[in-house]
Structure 1
Amino acid sequence: MVLELYLDLISQPSRAVYIFAKKNGIPFELGNVELLKGQHLTKEFFPVNSLQRVPTLKDGDFVLSERCSPSLPPLHTAAHMALALPQGALPHPSAPGPHWGMRAVGDKSPDPGS
């Protein structure tokens, strides 16, 4: 099954997800959503993501998008896409810095690569 990515490259989070998928050879179908035209607010996009946000990743019935509330942990589509990588394609555990462009709010845990 191919992942479906709904995004607009004018959006920085959308560009990050797009670049991640391209650089890692993850097959996906692109659903271009033009934010400046308000396509994310249309009734056609609502069934894809009722929060009407991009980037949105759809993997079968599973939908992942940006966080919807400051009280909820942030979700990032790159973390889900990492699961689609072939075995052995993950970064080396000793590689410095965060991987997948994930964000954590208030996370003070040590970097696992150090």
Structure 2
Amino acid sequence: MVLELYLDLLSQPCRAIYIFAKKNGIPFQLRTVELLKGQHLSDAFAQVNPLKKVPAMKDGDFTLTESPWVLAAKFSKAVPSWLHGAREWRQQWGRTSSGRPMRSS
């Protein structure tokens, strides 16, 4: 099963994820979502991300829709030992890009 990235490379957060994946040799299938054409507002894309925003990442049945967490998940694929530092990372960065506090486990 291949990692699917839903991106519009005109978007800076999307470009960051794309560059990160390429630089770290993480295999993925690019699913282009053209924001200027309103493709992110389609019912088809709403099945991937009900918030209708990019970037989004789909790995089998697992989907992430906020760029910092997409990067974090991809980094864990590039460096599996990173998961041991995930808790400290969450404590340091502690908020989602929307500004809402994250739930700590």
Instruction: Read off the aligned partner of 2:19 and give its amino acid letter.
Output: I
Instruction: Read off the aligned partner of 2:76 and give its amino acid letter.
Output: L
> Residues 104, 14 of structure 1: CA spacing in aligned structure 2 closer, same or farther, 3 A cutoff?
farther
> How large is the Cα RMSD of the aligned pairs?
2.6
Normalised by the length of structure 2, the TM-score is 0.73
Structure 1: distance between partners of 2:69 and 2:16: 10
1:60 Cα deviation after fit? 0.8
State percent identity of aligned pairs. Answer: 57
Provide the residue aligned with 2:103 in structure 1. none
- Give a deviation string over 1:40-79, Cα, whole Å, max 9, x none: 0001111111111101000111110127xxxxxxx42110
1:82 Cα deviation after fit? 1.2
Structure 1: distance between partners of 2:73 and 2:40: 22
Normalised by the length of structure 1, the TM-score is 0.68
In terms of fraction of residues, the more helix-rich structure is 2
- Bigger CA radius of gyration: 1
Question: What is the count of residue pairs matched by the alignment?
Answer: 89
Provide structure 2 residue ranges, at least 5 long, that are not aligned to the other structure. 83-88, 100-105
Structure 1: distance between partners of 2:17 and 2:51: 18
1:104 Cα deviation after fit? 5.2
Structure 1 residue runs of 4+, over 6 Å off? none
